[in-house]
Amino acid sequence: GVTQSPTHLIKTRGQQVTLRCSSQSGHNTVSWYQQALGQGPQFIFQYYREEENGRGNFPPRFSGLQFPNDSSELNVNALELDDSALYLCASSFQGSGANVLTFGAGSRLTVL
């Protein structure tokens, strides 16, 4: 499946954070979602073959990396209080038809 680390972390405003994800074997696409408390997940961006190829309505201080070994990172700079959320990583195989996403359990970020 998809594994994420850390499961919980606390940061202060202005700091930077890196969240990590290990995709399901055989998947070639990783996407990241932000889920604020009481809301549905919001698409941040997706990476395909180590290139960003789709971004939601998030500022450039949200960035990512996808590595050849099925791992990926989400980096957030200059943290703001509103960045407090559950961050979900999802992997999928992008071929023809619908992408079926496999989600990790998430990393819960609290910004103080």
Partner 1 sequence: AQSVTQLGSHVSVSEGALVLLRCNYSSSVPPYLFWYVQYPNQGLQLLLKYTSAATLVKGINGFEAEFKKSETSFHLTKPSAHMSDAAEYFCAVSDETSGSRLTFGEGTQLTVNP
Residues near partner 1, by CB under 8 A:
2, 29-31, 38-43, 46, 48, 53-54, 56, 88, 90, 92, 94, 97-106
Nearer to partner 1, 1 or 14 (CB): 1
Give me the least distance between CB of 84 and partner 1, in Å please: 16
The span from the CA of 5 to the CA of 98, in Å, is 27
Give me the least distance between CB of 44 and partner 1, in Å please: 10
The span from the CA of 57 to the CA of 55, in Å, is 7
Strand ranges across the sheet with 3-5: 3-5, 17-22, 71-76, 62-66
The span from the CA of 29 to the CA of 12, in Å, is 31
Give me the least distance between CB of 74 and partner 1, in Å please: 14
Nearer to partner 1, 45 or 83 (CB): 45
